[in-house]
Structure 1
Amino acid sequence: MTAGPLTLRAAIGRYAHSAPVLDGIATSPLLRIEDAGIRPISKAFAPMVREGRFDLSEMAIATFLMAKEAGRPLVLLPVVMASRFQEGALLCLKGSAIRGPADLRGKRVGVRAYSQTTGLWLRGTLAEHGVPSDSVRWVTFEDAHEPTYHDPPWAERAPAGADIAAMLRDGSLDAAIFGNELPEGDDLRPVFPDPAAAGEAFRARHGFVPVNHLLVLRRDVAEAHPEIAPEIVRLLGGITPPGGRTALNPALTLATRLCVEQGLMKRPLTLAEIWDGTPPTTD
């Protein structure tokens, strides 16, 4: 056992279920969370993948799967930090001729990075509407967090310094995918005519709300202190579906398959590979 609380340098976003931990209200005799102060939290993903900069980090599901395939020493914890229906994040101009997802075939669609998890889930939904990933011209603005990855041939890079919302508004893009923060103004609208209904249709097809962010530990930390993983799950598992790994397996299985279909990974990972290194006591 660890002698006294173990201090973990952590990159974790501020949510209703994480704020008590970050503020020192929810505490543990086994560990102490030292907030690295990364905002927005997506800025933590690349240094965690490339350098292992933090002991504990929030991480987008696509980033984790790509990093795991590349052999990065990360251990997944069954803790959902952020999940949501994605359909409201795909926008076009209010006066656009686009009337639904099927109209995006052959169009130019912007996304921060081709590997962005919101894009992963939305491209999967588009494929279910008859619009496979390679039928759209994807315009990206950033590299993937996993440095060994290169965008597929059906993606191109926006001009240096370009802004995704500005390109959508000036007609350089037909549609664009945004994250949690949507552009202000009434000149844009969702591509899906009824995003809420489209989200519920996804849940009816697949049985879950898409997972955006999970938690990862550096492997050396997890191996040296196996007692802390269950404690992290206890402290931060507030929105995780009951059932731990079993509950998350459908989302992970679909996400790894979509990564392969969309050119993000060479092969799907098995669940055993995805959970490799995760202590069984976290279930």
Structure 2
Amino acid sequence: MTDYPAAGPVTLATNLADYPVTRALKSGAVKSELVNFDFCGPKIANQGFKPMVREGKFDAGELAIVTFLQAKVYGKPLTLLPAVVMARGQHHTINYNVARGPLAPKDIEGKRFGSRSYSVTTGVWVRGILKDEYGVDSSKVTWCTTDDGHLAEYQDPANVERLPAGSNVEKMLIEGELDGAILGGDLPDEPRVAHLIPEPQKVAEAWSKKHGMVPINHLFVVRSDLARQRPDVVREIFRVLKESKAQGVLSGGIDPVPFGVENNRKALETIIRYSYEQKIIPRLFTVDELFDDVTRDLV
């Protein structure tokens, strides 16, 4: 248990990357008299997710939504705020080796596809979209991974194969050792690799318009000790995040980083369902049970 000051300002060890929604906060353009953010996380924020859920390393910061769902399953003392800091279309992240022959989405059943880990949030979104939009049964794909998930307690399902230590998924994809792969970044500059879903940006935009949401990657979380002891601090964190967002995110169209439970309900319901269907979590959560009595009412 971590004890925080009963009143007055607090300093919070925080893992948070630079995004349009966070830039004003991190630059100091948005300030708080109650919260001092010590931005001490790694340069690549997702490298702090495993220490956060396994060691309780940070007081606050961003966390992948699927990692949070698993953390809740295993009783990790983290409290979710309805504040999205990173979201994006996911259709561009799944690719295949064209030298092994043409592939349509449904054709990946029976194939070997690489991914950093099975439970990575991008992968969960992609597999869910492939199921809903293209009828793909991802349990019939062998998912070849280089890393375990963020939660030590989680065991991958039977259709997940751990690659030998030192394996590089992108290299294996290019060299034809894998049929395809989910890659977090842009398509490699390599003629042997192509998007599984043609015109993925256009398709992703149409998907978001159809469903009224952008797939959530990361939201803000705090230690549950902080949430219990200092709800005023949690409200202040939400306030400054919201102010920072207002300075960095253009309005109009579908909000890519919604704040508030209701604005995130549909996306959260979807990623909960995808996580359950893919054996990432053992039961379906309701959206409301992801939040506590304070964070549930933040708007």
Aligning the two structures, in what range does the TM-score lie when normalised by the shorter sequence?
over 0.9
Distance change >3 Å, CA 50–CA 123, structure 1 → 2: same
Q: Is the 8 A contact 1:44 1:57 kept in 2?
A: no
CA offset digits 1:29-50 (Å, max 9, x no partner): 1111110131211111111111
CA offset digits 1:224-272 (Å, max 9, x no partner): 1101222222222325655611011111111111111101111111223
Q: Is 1:36 matched up with 2:40?
A: yes
Q: For residues 110 and 38 of structure 2, what CA distance do their matches in structure 1 show?
A: 47
Q: Is the 8 A contact 1:241 1:247 kept in 2?
A: no
| Equivalent position amino acid for 1:145 in 2 | H
| Equivalent position amino acid for 2:237 in 1 | I
- In the alignment, which residue of structure 1 is the partner of 2:193? 188
- In the alignment, which residue of structure 2 is the partner of 1:248? 264
Distance change >3 Å, CA 242–CA 125, structure 1 → 2: closer
- In the alignment, which residue of structure 2 is the partner of 1:197? 202
Q: Is the 8 A contact 1:5 1:28 kept in 2?
A: no
Q: For residues 181 and 45 of structure 1, what CA distance do their matches in structure 2 show?
A: 22
Distance change >3 Å, CA 181–CA 278, structure 1 → 2: farther
Distance change >3 Å, CA 36–CA 186, structure 1 → 2: farther
CA offset digits 1:46-74 (Å, max 9, x no partner): 11111211010211111001111111111
Residue 219 (structure 1) aligned to one of 221, 224, 232: 224
Q: Is 1:116 matched up with 2:132?
A: no
Shift of 1:191: 0.8
Q: TM-score, normalised by structure 1?
A: 0.93
Q: For residues 10 and 140 of structure 1, what CA distance do their matches in structure 2 show?
A: 29
Q: For residues 257 and 62 of structure 2, what CA distance do their matches in structure 1 show?
A: 17
- Aligned with 1:227: secondary structure? helix
- In the alignment, which residue of structure 2 is the partner of 1:55? 59
- Aligned with 1:10: secondary structure? strand
| Equivalent position amino acid for 2:232 in 1 | E
C-alpha RMSD of matched pairs (Å): 1.9
Q: For residues 181 and 50 of structure 1, what CA distance do their matches in structure 2 show?
A: 29
Q: TM-score, normalised by structure 2?
A: 0.88
CA offset digits 1:146-176 (Å, max 9, x no partner): 1110110011011110001111011111111
Shift of 1:184: 4.0
| Equivalent position amino acid for 1:264 in 2 | I
Q: What are structure 1's unaligned runs of at least 5 residues?
A: none
Q: What are structure 2's unaligned runs of at least 5 residues?
A: 250-255
Distance change >3 Å, CA 181–CA 41, structure 1 → 2: farther
Q: For residues 281 and 255 of structure 1, what CA distance do their matches in structure 2 show?
A: 21
- In the alignment, which residue of structure 1 is the partner of 2:183? 178
Q: For residues 10 and 186 of structure 2, what CA distance do their matches in structure 1 show?
A: 34
Runs of 4+ in 1 over 6 A off after TM superposition: none
Q: Is the 8 A contact 2:63 2:220 kept in 1?
A: yes
Shift of 1:208: 0.7
- In the alignment, which residue of structure 2 is the partner of 1:269? 285
- In the alignment, which residue of structure 2 is the partner of 1:78? 82
Residue 69 (structure 1) aligned to one of 59, 70, 73: 73
**Between the two proteins, what is the percent identity of the paired residues?**
39
